[in-house]
Amino acid sequence: MKNVKSEKRKAGGLKIGKARIGDIKKIHTILSAYATEGTVLPRSLSELYDQLRDLFVSIDPADGAIAGTCAMHICWDRIAEIRSLAVVADCQRAGIGTGLVNACIQEARQLEVEQIFVLTYAAKFFKKFGFRKVDKAVLPHKVWSDCMKCVKFPDCDEEALLLDLTRNKQT
């Protein structure tokens, strides 16, 4: 069942856009809540400031509250990663996560990215966009330096999913 706050946020019309410097501390708080359970990697404030241009946020124009965040990080030649996707608990299941991922995919297309991957426990969520399960071995090696920051490393049971933008022109 969708909760009341989700309906309010949805009805109020959330705006998805690029994050700004003033959003970073709130993004850090949102990600930290999920990092402790291992569903997203922890990100320090320093990393988030470094990666500001990767980040999207979903904001309620009524009060400026940030309901969710997601990053599209260029990783290697024509390949990018979706990471740091998180929607605050009482705003979930209102389409915010979907909107954030669509914004990342749109920007990736504009930048001529051909493949986007994600490491996730929410495979069902990502399959809606056309992501398909792949062997982790096909991902760029530099991904694994980030994985060492995870509370679950080295016992990772996340799935690797890939979206081929050259085959999914209309996604």
Please state the closest distance from residue 170 (CB atom) to ligand COA, in A.
Answer: 19
Residue 49: strand, helix, or coil: helix
Strands (E) in the chain, as ranges, are 15-18, 55-59, 66-76, 79-87, 115-120, 132-134, 159-164
Q: Which of residues 10-49 bind ligand COA (CB under 6 A)?
A: 34, 39-40
> Residue 72 forms beta bridges with which residues?
82
Distance CA 63, CA 48 (A): 23
At closest approach, how far in Å is the CB of 12 from ligand COA? 15
Nearest residue by C-beta to ligand COA?
A: 97
Q: Report the residue number, 11 or 112, with the smaller CB distance to ligand COA.
A: 11
95 close to 59: Cβ distance less than 8 angstroms = no
Q: Shortest gap between Cβ of 164 and ligand COA (angstroms)?
A: 18
Residues contacting 76, CB < 8 A, separation 6+ = 140, 142
Nearest approach in angstroms of CB 67 to ligand COA is 8
Segment 96 to 155, residues that bind ligand COA, using CB under 6 A: 96-98, 118, 120-122, 124-125
CB of 125 to ligand COA, least distance (A): 4
Minimum CB distance to ligand COA smaller for 10 or for 109: 10
* Residue whose structure tokens are 């490491």: 119
Contact residues for ligand COA, defined by CB under 6 A: 34, 39-40, 85-87, 92-98, 118, 120-122, 124-125
